[in-house]
């Protein structure tokens, strides 16, 4: 049976249209969530961190083909160990916010006290705007 180790939430925006943060560089990771979990009580090779999240983005004012990439890394920088990524093209027929949901796991997570997970977003088009909601939940368990 799995044992609970730690759980955290990183939430930039609780509500729809509650932020307006432009993505300022093409195909460049921008931090949207970061949390530290205490996994020290886990069993080696049997510790799993699961995560779920949601990000709302809006197309640039002049709609163009736009791809959004969400990356979850173990570490504090985009060059950390990538444990998950998801890519989605925004729908050109929707002029309002578009929700991107993601869920994944980091199997065999390290059994240390301060394991940092960071979530990054990047866009293929300038003018893409993060509009909220924006939230990420992480939970660490071990057998």
Largest CA distance in the chain: 52
User: What distance in Å separates the CA atoms of residue 135 and residue 84, rounded to the nearest whole number?
Assistant: 16
Is 108 in a helix, a strand, or coil? Answer: coil
State the Rg of the chain over Cα: 16
Tens-digit pLDDT string for the chain (143 aa): 899 999 999 999 999 999 999 999 999 999 999 999 999 999 999 999 999 999 999 998 888 999 999 999 999 999 999 999 999 999 999 989 999 999 999 999 999 999 999 999 999 999 999 999 999 999 999 99
Q: Can you list the positions of beta strands (E) in the chain? A: 3-13, 21-22, 30-37, 47-58, 67-74, 81-89, 98-107, 115-123, 129-142
């Amino acid at each position: 049976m799995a044992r609970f180790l730690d759980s955290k939430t990183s939430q930039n925006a609780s509500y729809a249209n509650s932020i307006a943060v432009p993505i300022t560089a093409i195909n460049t990771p921008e931090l949207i969530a970061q949390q530290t979990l205490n996994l020290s009580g886990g069993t080696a090779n049997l510790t799993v961190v699961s995560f779920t999240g949601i990000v709302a983005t809006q197309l640039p004012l002049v709609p163009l083909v736009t791809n959004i990439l969400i990356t979850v890394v173990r570490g504090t920088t985009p060059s950390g160990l990538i444990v998950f990524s998801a890519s989605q093209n925004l729908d050109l027929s929707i002029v309002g916010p578009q929700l991107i949901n993601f869920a994944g796991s980091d199997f065999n997570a390290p059994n240390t006290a301060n394991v940092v997970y960071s979530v990054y977003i990047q866009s293929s088009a300038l003018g893409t705007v993060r509009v909220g909601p924006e939230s990420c939940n992480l939970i660490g368990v071990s057998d």
